Structure 1
């Protein structure tokens, strides 16, 4: 693994036994940052109803950390792994135990510092995307967090800003810091500028401190009890044997669907905030190869093999999998083939249809309906034989 974003040791007592309404304050942390590839929280939460106290949970493709948050709600320790630094930063925020006041005080203390940001990006995109005073404050916080991001308040503030860095303009008080833009992904610079010019959209002057304060009071109003866990940025094909103090008994995940490899380019603006370049990044480092179906299946097989090596006998593997319209493949065939090639002891118990994804809510919904009808997703359940 390339590094650990966060580790916390806390209570393992259950706080939630039944999933409350999704607007309940205790669930708001899970929505700290929109991220288009998530599966719904109720999926891992329901699976973990049979887990025993102290069972460790692993998600080798954790994305924004939905599995880890479900484990926290159940009072279970967990580990998340993802090759995308943006995903890792969001998932790390799912472990924090902070008050809104701690996050607000940190933000205000950073903005009160006299130090001028050393790197404020320039160019047409940045002029149209952010008001100069808003961009100034964003860069000030960015440079602080690039040097200091180890406390829970710092990790929480980082996750919070990633969630409001871009999004739609609101009629009342601003929720997002940018000019009009989607919430789940960042439009590429040329397309964004064309859109803003066409619709004569100017960047709003957003009070960064006030926006963060309002969002912090909402997100961190009530949190689940903390649990032990960690988030790693890395390649799950190179899984370390020492990522948890005990073998995992539950693996709940949703791998990238074949052909879905635009995670980092689609998150380029959030990646910039985390220290990446101020231009679109097309790196595929750490991702399973998508050049051919065979390479993709072998990549998945390597993950299942490494995952088995850190699991206890009779561990459960639950995988949600599907296909995107532009690279439709039978998800059941690909997944079963990858488990067979892994030859790691995973025995498929059952495969269930998971239905079609709501638009934008899962990987199959990433491109909407313009490229054809999404393939029905599946849930595969397997057991690690002794």
Structure 2
């Protein structure tokens, strides 16, 4: 059986401030915001709660709160978690700009430690001093204003030369240091002098131009492991909809592919394949199945969902990932009926932009309902 999301009765008109905050945070293989908005509108009512066990950069949470639904999610990657927390609960512009001035002052007396060659080619000396000061002094896990400022830094930590803090790079994905240095050297492309504070002030003022997101709904974003920490979302529930997209087996390594931003949050100054369990490319099929089983079984058995809750999962159409996800969902929710809809890719995927030209089979939406 196939799933079709019913067309909304009228066009969705979100306030300008909400629209501007919804899509904050570049991320590789992002969960589509329009899909999340449509799914939440169809399967919930205002005041309901939505759960996302694989929260990513918080697309489900941001969409839910924009529509007047409460939401909660869990994310193991600190970069994605930081985006999610910021877009659903940002500090005020005044506080962020004041904190930016404080970091600028600290940067003037900051000494940059010895760094790999990559950093002297990626950032001009003044920007590197600023980044070092921010990396040292921003308590992004504990303070809303520090978290919000760090989110702005991460968004434009690297990207197009004229728009970002770095030399010419991609914004979504961190490129390898050896490749990057060779590319810059071949073009004699040393980093231009930039004023980090002025660049960020422009980004901050643009984001806050229409104010803060217009919603009374609440979102709880948990930095943790979905196989163990779903219970921490309980206070935001019970949930009428579980909407998520688990990582696809063997496709993306969010640890390696975001290594520059992970450095900014205190990580090593070089790419690493993994930062711990569930933080690699999910190449092992046994471990991948265990990740899904533990997460969805926890959602089903921890009394997090309402009796009439729906479960909507977007997954990879490749045989192993799809069949494993279907099997796990049917086992975790035996009293719900499963329907599916194949979603072929109509446009080139992000992996295509990074050199992977193979034809992709697309994605599948799996809906379980009473």
Q: What TM-score range do you get, normalising by the shorter chain?
A: 0.7 to 0.9
1:265 alignment counterpart: 256
1:127 alignment counterpart: 120
Contact 2:23–2:33 under 8 Å retained in 1: no
2:5 alignment counterpart: none
1:8 alignment counterpart: none
1:233 alignment counterpart: 223
2:133 alignment counterpart: 140
For residues 93-120 of structure 1, the C-alpha deviation after alignment (integer angstroms, 9 at most, x for no partner) is: 1112444333222101221237844654
Q: Residues of 2 paired with 1:142 and 1:297: CA distance? A: 36
Q: Which of 310, 313, 316 is matched with 1:316 structurally?
A: 310
Contact 2:61–2:73 under 8 Å retained in 1: yes
For residues 224-260 of structure 1, the C-alpha deviation after alignment (integer angstroms, 9 at most, x for no partner) is: 2243222112221113424232322111111111112
- Structure with greater helix percent: 2
Change (3 A) 1:286 1:75: farther
Secondary structure in 2 matching 1:379: strand
- Distance apart, 1:284 and its partner CA: 5.1
Contact 1:252–1:317 under 8 Å retained in 2: yes
For residues 256-275 of structure 1, the C-alpha deviation after alignment (integer angstroms, 9 at most, x for no partner) is: 11112411110000001111
2:356 alignment counterpart: 370
Contact 2:342–2:364 under 8 Å retained in 1: yes
For residues 19-55 of structure 1, the C-alpha deviation after alignment (integer angstroms, 9 at most, x for no partner) is: 4489x55322233221012122111111111422322
Change (3 A) 1:120 1:78: farther
1:334 alignment counterpart: 324
1:281 alignment counterpart: 272
Q: Which of 315, 327, 334 is matched with 1:345 structurally?
A: 334
For residues 169-190 of structure 1, the C-alpha deviation after alignment (integer angstroms, 9 at most, x for no partner) is: 13xxxx2000111010111111
Q: Residues of 1 paired with 2:287 and 2:135: CA distance? A: 37
Contact 2:248–2:316 under 8 Å retained in 1: yes
Secondary structure in 1 matching 2:367: strand
- Distance apart, 1:140 and its partner CA: 1.1
- Distance apart, 1:213 and its partner CA: 0.7
Instruction: Please give the residue correspondences for 1:191-206 in structure 2 after superposition, counting only pairs within 5 Å.
Output: 191-206=179-194
Contact 1:64–1:88 under 8 Å retained in 2: yes
Matched, 1:176 2:198: no
Q: Which of 34, 42, 53 is matched with 2:26 structurally?
A: 34
Secondary structure in 1 matching 2:233: coil
RMSD: 2.5
TM-score when scaled to structure 2?
A: 0.87
Matched, 1:354 2:343: yes
Contact 1:68–1:94 under 8 Å retained in 2: no
- Distance apart, 1:144 and its partner CA: 1.4
Q: Residues of 1 paired with 2:23 and 2:113: CA distance? A: 29
Matched, 1:84 2:77: yes
For residues 320-365 of structure 1, the C-alpha deviation after alignment (integer angstroms, 9 at most, x for no partner) is: 1115xxxx4355423212223x43436243211222164355xxx4
Matched, 1:163 2:151: no
For residues 37-89 of structure 1, the C-alpha deviation after alignment (integer angstroms, 9 at most, x for no partner) is: 21221111111114223222111111111111101211211112111111111
Q: Residues of 2 paired with 1:180 and 1:249: CA distance? A: 45
1:67 alignment counterpart: 60
Contact 1:179–1:204 under 8 Å retained in 2: yes
Q: Residues of 1 paired with 2:297 and 2:204: CA distance? A: 40
Q: Residues of 2 paired with 1:280 and 1:165: CA distance? A: 16
Q: Residues of 1 paired with 2:107 and 2:93: CA distance? A: 24
Contact 2:97–2:201 under 8 Å retained in 1: yes
Q: Residues of 1 paired with 2:63 and 2:277: CA distance? A: 25
Contact 1:166–1:177 under 8 Å retained in 2: yes
Point out 4+ residue stretches in structure 1 off by more than 6 angstroms: none
TM-score when scaled to structure 1?
A: 0.84
Contact 2:135–2:265 under 8 Å retained in 1: yes
Q: Residues of 1 paired with 2:335 and 2:84: CA distance? A: 27
Change (3 A) 1:258 1:43: same
**How many pairs does the alignment contain?**
354
